[in-house]
Amino acid sequence: MNEHFSRRSLLRFSCSVLALSVSSLVYRQVALASTEQTSAWGAWEEFKKRFLSEGGRIISNDEDSSRTYSEGQAYGLFFALVANDRVGFDKILRWTENNLCNGDMTARLPAWLWGKRKEGDWGVIDSNPASDADLWIAYALGEAGRLWGVARYRALASLLAARVLREETVEVPGLGLALLPAPVGFAEGEGRWRFNPSYMPMQVMHWLAGTEPQSAWRQLADSSLKILLGSAPKGFSPDWTLYDTKQGFLIDTKGTEKGEGTYNAIRVYLWAGMMHPDAIGRRALLKALEPMAQHIRSQGYPPESIDILTGKASGPAPSGFSVAILPFLQAQGDKAALEAQRMRLEARPLRPEAYYEQVLSLFGQGWMDGVFRFAATGHLLPQWRP
């Protein structure tokens, strides 16, 4: 009896040791994989060297090469999260809050433009916020809070999102609650508003609709898809569009683009291409924008600008457009056009000092390389998080 008990105990002990050994081995393998995946994202490291100041400011290369846009800070936060770069993330966030939010992101939206002012000093040049930057900042903060387990980030994200709802939306007959480009300057009067389709990435909209408690975000997701589809009747997205409650979508004749799709609109195809296959609206969006894929296939390059009604295009765009369009062409299943743009990028590499081209590359090439993905709900799926 005792001998039987001893053998049984020994067997249980041996099984326990084996289980612990296997568990330890699995843990070491997961830890090793995690370590490998959290290694620096080379493209982000190069971007930081060129465009990120020691204090946390993303410096564009327009005008006198010294200006900073809230959009750049927002993208910087997103890329730092994708790269698992907590130090860079905190540095960018701190500069953004101190300089674009007057030291308190819980009290105000980030100013759109910062740089050297006419008086010779440095500071905010245009305090009117940009809603696309505000959305991306809220998204980056919320996902950083989830992935890194930081409650402060999640709280900041929710407060920022609530402020966007209060200050940067408008109820539009026929559309519902819609996202304005900024709090001031985009209500044209007489039942007419001006919108920017590239300010409405559906990944971010779906994420906000699923994570924030306000039901208004679901309405914004619905109206954003309506704007994306309705503003591109021929399959070409405009930089800016007008919506009239009686006439529907109209060409924006006041803006310098005058009904063309160019440096803003290229992001519409980029965002659409990166949507999860099961994301709401993806199929309709890809089908509506298919003429752009056909145009690129026939010409061998994306146009720098294109008339959204006639399809008349300018000459070839910078190579940054080619890298931005890669996820879109892959989503369209257009292997020939995709390979042509890859070859174009080899023959005509991105300009290292071109800020916007490098931003488009971090999004487009980063997605193509599998550095990150988006879930159907919009949640970020970084490579470093197994």
DSSP structure string for 303-368: BS-EETTT--B-SBPPHHHHHHHHHHHHHHT-HHHHHHHHHHHHHSPPPTT-HHHHHHHHHHHHHH
**Alpha-carbon distances of 182 from 135, 199, 268, 282, rounded to whole Å:** 11, 10, 18, 26
Per-residue pLDDT, 66: 87
Helix (H) or strand (E) holding 52: none
Task: Output the DSSP codes for 235-297.
Answer: S---SSEEEETTTEEEE--SSSSSSEE-TTTHHHHHHHHTS-TTSTTHHHHHHHTHHHHHHHH
Residue 261 to residues 221, 270, 358, Cα–Cα distance (Å): 22, 13, 20
* pLDDT value of residue 255: 77
Contact 382, 375 (CB under 8 A): no
Among residues 44, 42, 152, which one has the least CA distance to residue 93? 152
Q: Which of 50-61 are b and which e, b meaning 16 or more Cβ less than 10 Å from the residue's Cβ?
A: ebbeeebbbbbb
What is the model's pLDDT at position 18? 38
Residues lower than pLDDT 50 in the chain: 1-39
d(CA 296, CA 141): 35
Which long-range CB contacts under 8 A does 336-340 form with residues at least 24 apart? 336/297, 337/293, 337/296, 337/297, 340/296, 340/297, 340/300
303 Cβ contact list (under 8 Å, min separation 6): 295, 313, 314, 315, 316, 317
At 244, give phi and psi (nearest 5°): -110, 130
Q: Which residues are catalytic?
A: 71, 132
pLDDT score of 64: 64
Question: How far is residue 245 CA from its own chain's centroid?
Answer: 29
Residue 104 and residue 56 in contact, taking contact as beta carbons nearer than 8 Å? no
In the chain, the amino acid numbered 267 is R
Task: Give the orientation angle of helix 42-51 with respect to helix 70-82, to 10 degrees.
Answer: 150
Q: How far apart are CA 172 and CA 241, in angstroms?
A: 14
Six token digits for residue 21: 């050994």
Sheet strands side by side (includes 192-195): 192-195, 241-244, 248-251
CB-CB contact of 305 with 261 (8 Å): yes
Model confidence, pTM: 0.89
How many C-beta atoms lie closer than 10 Å to residue 376's C-beta?
15
CA distances from 24 to 15, 21, 33, 38, 174 (A): 14, 5, 14, 21, 59
| Residue 374 neighbours by CB distance under 10 Å | 21
> What are 105-116's pLDDT values in tens digits?
999 999 999 999
| Residues 6 or more apart in contact with residue 299 via CB below 8 angstroms | 313, 316
Q: Calculate the alpha carbon distances from 145 to 85, 210, 312, 350 in Å.
A: 13, 15, 45, 33
Q: What is the pLDDT of residue 14?
A: 42
Angle at 73 between CA 152 and CA 319, to 5 degrees: 140
pLDDT at position 243 is 98
